[in-house]
Amino acid sequence: MSEREAIGKARRIVVKAGSSSLTTPQGTIDANRIDALVDVLAARRADGAEIVFVSSGAIAAGLGPLGLTRRPRDLATQQAAASVGQGLLFARYTSSFARYGVTVGQVLLTADDMIRRSHHRNAQRTLEQLITLGILPIVNENDTVATDEIRFGDNDRLAALVAHLTRADAVVLLSDVDALYTGDPRRPGVRRIADVHGPADLADVELGGSGRVGTGGMVTKVEAARIAGVPVVLTNAASAAHALAGDEVGTLFHPADARRMSTRDLWLAHATTGQGRVTLDAGAVDAVVRRRKSLLPAGVTGVEGDFAAGDPVDLCDPGGRVVARGLVHYDASEIPELMGRSTRWLARELGAEYEREIIHRDHLVVLTEQ
Ligand SMILES: Nc1ncnc2c1ncn2[C@@H]1O[C@H](COP(=O)(O)OP(=O)(O)O)[C@@H](O)[C@H]1O
Ligand SMILES: N[C@@H](CCC(=O)OP(=O)(O)O)C(=O)O
- Write out pLDDT tens, residues 36-83: 999 999 999 999 999 999 999 999 999 999 999 888 989 999 999 999
With a 6 Å cutoff on the Cβ, whether 82 touches ligand 2 is yes
Which ligand 2 atom minimizes the distance to the CA of 215?
A: 9
pLDDT at 77: 95
Q: Is the CB of 215 under 6 A from ligand 2?
A: yes
250 lines ligand 1 (CB under 6 A): no
Out of 89, 155, 180, 184, give the residue to mutate to test ligand 1, the one with the largest number of ligand atoms within 8 Å of its CB.
184
Q: Which ligand is closest to the CA of 234, given by its number?
A: 1
Residues paired with 325 in a beta bridge: 314, 365
pTM of the model: 0.82
Pocket perturbation via mutation, ligand 2, pick of 23, 107, 109, 141 by most ligand atoms within 8 A of CB? 141
Query: What CATH number matches the domain at 274-366, 3.40.50.9100, 2.30.130.10, 3.20.20.140, 3.90.170.10?
Result: 2.30.130.10
The residue contributing the CA closest to ligand 1 atom 25 is 211
Is 9 a known ligand-binding residue? no
- Determine the pLDDT at residue 361: 93
**Intervals of CATH 2.30.130.10 along the chain:** 274-366
- Identify the pLDDT of residue 297: 95
ipTM of the complex: 0.96
Check if 141 has its Cβ closer than 6 Å to any atom of ligand 2.
yes
> Kind of pairing, strands 192-193 and 180-181?
antiparallel
pLDDT reported for residue 370? 44
User: Is 293 labeled as ligand-binding?
Assistant: no
**Delimiting residues of CATH 3.40.1160.10 domain(s) in the chain:** 3-267
Q: Show the low-confidence residues of the chain (pLDDT under 70).
A: 115-118, 148-150, 210-216, 257-260, 263, 271, 369-370
Does 261 count as an annotated binding residue?
no
Tell me, using a 6 A CB cutoff, whether residue 210 lines ligand 1: yes
CATH topology of domain 3-267: Carbamate kinase (3.40.1160)
pLDDT (0 to 100) of residue 212:
59
Q: How many residues does the chain have?
A: 370
User: What is the atom index within ligand 2 of the atom nearest the CA of 86?
Assistant: 13
178 lines ligand 2 (CB under 6 A): no
- The protein residue with its alpha carbon nearest to ligand 2, atom 5, reads 154
Q: Is the CB of 143 under 6 A from ligand 2?
A: yes
